[in-house]
Amino acid sequence: MIWTVFTGDIVESSALSAERLDGVMACLHRLSDDISAWSQDATAAFGRRGGDGWQLAVNASEYDLRSTLYLQSSLMALDPAVQTRIAVATGKGTLPDGSNPDPNSAHGPAFSASGRLLEKLTGTTLLAHADGGPLDATYRLADHIAQGWTQAQARAVAAMLPPGTGPRRVAADRLGISRQAIDQALHAAGYPALHDALTLLEAPE
């Protein structure tokens, strides 16, 4: 089966209490459920790796960058000081049998490539794709944009990223802010350019 695998770890996790880190992991687990609902008949598996690491596998690939930005923006919406590295790979893989499989026990090229890429992420780079080339370049540019988000900007972006979200006024109502406020936050967050990039990446070939 083809999987998109997201392998990550929390940046500067030593500054977080054990309770706070557990809360971040619980948030990522909830977000994985959100992402699995974006594609028809999609399956997602989430698992914690060690103290501050995690892995998510989804058997759909059309929303890989959107999912990556959703994970990052949602964490920053809770606490702008919390960010995660995310290394993404798409390819063949096999999860263990069972109703709640742990991706840490999975095997295959996608899982190996994602894990290896995370080990190679150094410096300030937080988001990358194992395919390299133009796709990885897009991830790294999106990463540069995302690292500048404020909490309000991250909250606005996270509200707009799920497919079928609807117009901005709906997201504004859900966040309890004005349409003008969400427009300002999205513009400052670089969302219009990200939206265009996502639309191009997700267009049927």
Domain of 29: which CATH number? 3.30.70.1230
Give domain status of residue 184, yes or no. Answer: no
The verdict on residue 50 lying in a domain is yes
In a domain, 75, yes or no: yes
Report d(CA 65, CA 15) in Å as an integer: 28
* Structural domains counted in the chain: 1
Which residues constitute the domain of residue 80? 2-130
- pLDDT, residue 126, reads 98
Tell me what pLDDT residue 99 has.
66
What DSSP string runs through 108-149? SHHHHHHHHHHHH--TT--EEETT-HHHHHHHHHHHHHHTT-
Q: Give residues with Cβ within 8 angstroms of 168, minimum separation 6.
A: 160, 179, 182, 183, 186
Residue 10 lies in a domain: yes
- Does residue 65 belong to any structural domain of this protein? yes
- Please give the pLDDT value at position 60: 84
pLDDT of residue 139: 98
158 within some domain: no
- Does a structural domain hold residue 135? no
Strands 53-58 and 44-49: antiparallel
Q: Report yes or no on 163 lying in a domain.
A: no
Consecutive 10-residue averages of pLDDT for the chain (205 residues): 94 90 95 92 88 92 95 95 96 81 85 96 95 97 97 97 92 94 98 97 87
What pLDDT, on a 0 to 100 scale, did the predictor assign at position 98? 65
**For residues 54 and 9, what is the distance between their CA atoms, to the nearest angstrom?**
6
Compute φ and ψ for 49, nearest 5 degrees. -120, 105
Q: Give the pLDDT confidence score for residue 34 in this predicted structure.
A: 95
